[in-house]
Homo-oligomer: A and B are copies of this chain.
Amino acid sequence: MPKISIRGHEMPESPIRKLAPLAAAAKKRGTKVYHLNIGQPDLPTPQEGLNALKNIDRTILEYSPSQGYLSYREKLVGYYKKFNINVSADDIIITAGGSEAVLFSFLACLNPGDEIIVPEPAYANYMAFAISAGAKIRTIATTIEEGFSLPKVEKFEELINERTRAIMICNPNNPTGYLYTRREMNQIRDLVKKYDLYLFSDEVYREYIYTGSPYISACHLEGIEENVVLIDSVSKRYSECGIRIGALITKNAEVRAAVMKFCQARLSPPLIGQLVAEASLDAPEEYHRDVYDEYVERRKCLVDGLNRIPGVYSPIPMGAFYTVAKLPVDDAEKFCRWCLESFEYEGATVMMAPAAGFYTTPGAGINQVRIAYVLKKDDLEKALIVLRKALEAYPGHIMED
């Protein structure tokens, strides 16, 4: 029997999805599972998007252009303008989710063996896409104690060598909820310029910034316009994870031409998703305000609740809808498994994403979890009680000094 590829072995399992079979088994036993593990928003898709779906009046569900529909790309120009991101429809390539945008960025820009610097903890699938492209992620540590702020320039420069081709950031950050400051973004800009790197910037959570601090897009940085590749997605913005519509945006014509060859090979992005996403751009301000207000409340409920549990610590996330929390346990993955396999409180348990899967440094994040606040406040409160009870009962509980 032929062997699978080395990268097939090296590909990480998703830290978010790999415990799914245990959750399924728990549900089968009749246990209610509070899903704190996955960034699947529970808030409704905009009515405008749902209406577009209802009103599709086609007899053939045909290919769309490899770059995505022009009408959608033109409408996106106005959306980005609201965030002071000035792009033309030609700068935008529609992809099957932000995922495909990351994969195609890596395939088009990086050679096997090339290195990308990513602050860790990081969205685990960056690692998967890097392995797919034969590239190597070099992580630069940020710590929960320092609230996940970026380390000094020198730490970056220690990692930079002749194989370094890119820096990748997620801002606001998944999994930490961190928002990069202007000073940090300028620091990244200077590094990108000095070493002539690509800057891949995943900014799919720009709608969710809670601190009044400014959103500094990679596209706002002057002097590196041709180095920036913006990764975007409508998944979180409109609760449209399932339609698989994202975008890759760059002013670099050579990168676009290369990416387009990968786009042509996969023929086209999803047709129906584009129709829904285009219509969703017409969602009223009220939709965004309601969603935003809801997350503001949940964030407070979750983070306050976590920090009230003895031994638990979560910094206050500034954006997105995740936080990384430290738990008083020997090993957070063991604890997460135990919650699903061996624990329930009043018929319920919690599912969280062990944070070690978001780090590459061995041992880092071993006692941390990523928690998504995509549950109703009532459910979040109940989940917090279950978590507290689980920590009390867990055999691997570690008492604080």
| Complex alpha-carbon distance, A266 and B268, angstroms | 16
Residues of B within 8 A of A41 (CB): 60
A191-219 interface (Cβ within 8 A of B): 196-198
Residues of B within 8 A of A56 (CB): 53-54
A266, B11: Cβ atoms under 8 Å?
Answer: no
A45-97 interface (Cβ within 8 A of B): 45, 49-50, 53-54, 56, 58-64, 66, 96-97
B268, A242: Cβ atoms under 8 Å?
Answer: yes
A76-132 interface (Cβ within 8 A of B): 96-97, 99-100, 103, 107-112, 114, 125, 128-129, 132
A14, B264: Cβ atoms under 8 Å?
Answer: yes
- Given known pairs A262-B128, A266-B97, the reply for A43 and B60 (CB within 8 Å) is yes
Cβ of A381 within 8 Å of any chain B Cβ, yes or no, is no
Cβ of A227 within 8 Å of any chain B Cβ, yes or no, is yes
| Assembly stoichiometry (copies) | 2
Residues of B within 8 A of A44 (CB): 59-60
Residues of B within 8 A of A264 (CB): 13-14, 17-18, 125, 128
How far in angstroms is the closest Cβ of chain B from A243? 5
A interface, over-half SS: loop
* Chain A interface size, under 10 / 10 to 19 / 20 to 34 / 35 or more: 35 or more
B267, A241: Cβ atoms under 8 Å?
Answer: yes
Residue among A62, A128, A242, A266 having the largest count of chain B Cβ atoms under 10 Å: A242
Residues of B within 8 A of A66 (CB): 14, 17
Find A258's partner among B5, B14, B103 (CB 8 Å cutoff). Answer: B5
Cβ of A270 within 8 Å of any chain B Cβ, yes or no, is yes
Can you add 16 more A-B contacts, CB < 8 Å, to A1-B254, A14-B264, A125-B264? Answer: A7-B108, A11-B262, A13-B264, A17-B66, A18-B264, A40-B63, A44-B60, A45-B59, A50-B59, A53-B56, A53-B61, A63-B242, A103-B266, A107-B132, A125-B267, A244-B271
